[in-house]
Amino acid sequence: MCSIACTSSSTLVFNDGSSKQSRNSGASLFHYNGLKSVETTLLGSASLDVKGFITTSAARCGKIKAVASPKRETDAKKRIVITGMGLVSVFGSDIDAYYNKLLDGVSGITPIDRFDASEYSVRFGGQIRDFSSKGYIDGKNDRRLDDCWRYCLVAGKRALDDAGLGKQVIDTMDKTRMGVLVGSAMGGFTAFSNGVEALVEKGHKKISPFFIPYSISNMGSALLAIDTGLMGPNYSIATACATSNHCFIAAANHIRRGDAEVMVAGGADAAVIPIGIGGFIACRALSQRNDEPHKASRPWDRNRDGFVMGEGAGVLTNERFQIMESLEHAMKRGAKVYAEFLGGAATCDAHHMTDPRPDGLGVSSCIVKSLQDAGVAPEEVNYVNAHATSTPAGDLAEFNAIKKVFKNTSELKMNGTKSMIGHGLGAAGGLEAIATIKAINTGWLHPTINQYDLEPIVTIDTVPNVKKQHEVNVAISNSFGFGGHNSVVVFAPFAP
């Protein structure tokens, strides 16, 4: 898919108050000798005279300004910034193309043609088509790998490239201080399914030697590390649809503890396959709107009837905004800073395997804990990227939780990315974190499509059907999984 021009702008601020626009997809810290000193930034005990900052500015929306909070992290060694993003989605693997499709309200939900679904009661999903791993995975491995790991490798390497951390740069760094934490809800689902079929139809001697390694859910992190040489913290988390957010939180904690300087984190899944669709049909979780697939995912609409299966991968590169040496390195390589990761939290509903707590208590406590971890007051938050799966029970449980935490919602916006791309399971939080960060960068929120008959109790602006301009101050992104796993992460515009 071809690249689309950046949708955000940047501003160089001079000490005389003048400014100069610079096109960039994120904020960048770099040394520019032609500028006079703008300000002095204190990083821990060191004082650093910074010659020029490029601060993220929302297109056509004025400069983004995060509300200062005395509770936020001030230790530069513990501040986490997002410097790279990579994805594989139903809209392709280009970040700007992905977000522009979302802004345009395009549905990626179509009839399934990857396999014969004619006898299934659900025959549609967010199926990825025309995926190419060229330049990221060699041909032999590409033919062997489960799609889940193909998506993971491409998204992870694209995130590193986006951060300016290609192979040549990585080879000059301490790889023991760079880690990978990419999870999956289902793991190598196709590899597992093929192994079972071989056992049943032909006996155990016909099982592929790759059956076990390509099935287990930790293999995404392992393969990405093997390909890139990153030797820092490496494991995976599997908490169903909360997976990506849990990976972001754990990765940030590794950086804050000093275990790593850089973490590549996110999630991947590829469940648009016979056993995946059939299994969720058996759970009675999927929408059955076969006659109008593009209208099937409709969060908060009174006629919603279940979620839509999606797939893909979403990965972020997280770095420490550290002392002078690290900042100088970032300045030399022109590192972009898309946003700051302020914090996150995880809780459990302790209620049911698949149904959420109707009172939303587990979710509301998770939101509260995430804000506490981030050092953010509820009134500072003005954007929620909701889990919003389009299930009858889940959407209202999440809304009730949000209302419990945010008393005044007049300035609050929330939207549902899944209305357009479906539910990516373990990849969902990664894909939605990228949408959240792009909202911060561009000043535009994508719509929640298929909003025809909103639930009367839903009084928060869901950005129905058409994008809205909105200057994001602090954003949260929610992800919840079967088993009652709750996760919330907090992002904000980066301010040096």
Which residue in 152, 241, 247, 366 is the catalytic one? Answer: 241
> Is the dihedral angle over the CA atoms 2, 5, 10, 11 positive or is it negative?
positive
SS (H, E, C) the chain: CCCCCCCCEEEEECCCCCEEEEECCCEEECCCCCCCCCEEEEECCEEEEECCEEEEEECCCEECCCCCCCCCCCCHHHCEEEEEEEEEECCECCHHHHHHHHHCCCCCCEECCCCCCCCCCCCEECCCCCCCCCCCCCHHHHHHCCHHHHHHHHHHHHHHHHCCCCHHHHCCCCHHHEEEEEECCCCCHHHHHHHHHHHHHHCHHHCCCCHHHHHCCCHHHHHHHHHHCCCCCECCCCCHHHHHHHHHHHHHHHHHHCCCCEEEEEEEEECCCHHHHHHHHHCCCECCCCCCHHHCCCCCECCCCCECECEEEEEEEEEECCCHHHHHHHHHCCCEECEEEEEEEEEECCCCCCCCCCCCHHHHHHHHHHHHHHCCCHHHEEEEECCCCCCHHHHHHHHHHHHHHCCCCCCCEEECCHHHHCECHHHHHHHHHHHHHHHHHHCEECCECCCCCECCCCCCECCECCCEECCCCEEEEEEEECCCEEEEEEEECCCC
Active site residue 246: no
- Nearest of 107, 165, 2 to residue 420 by alpha carbon: 107
Which residue in 423, 446, 470, 485 is the catalytic one? Answer: 423
- Nearest of 404, 405, 430 to residue 417 by alpha carbon: 430
Active site residue 387: yes
Q: Which pair of structure tokens corresponds to residue 344?
A: 């996150």
Which residue in 246, 387, 446, 470 is the catalytic one? Answer: 387
What's the CA gap between 317 and 83, in Å, rounded? 6
What's the CA gap between 159 and 336, in Å, rounded? 12
What's the CA gap between 45 and 33, in Å, rounded? 25
Looking up tokens 């698949």 gives 354
Active site residue 241: yes
The number of C-alpha atoms within 13 Å of 61 and in the hemisphere containing its C-beta is: 22
What's the CA gap between 363 and 405, in Å, rounded? 10
Q: Supply the residues annotated as catalytic.
A: 241, 387, 423
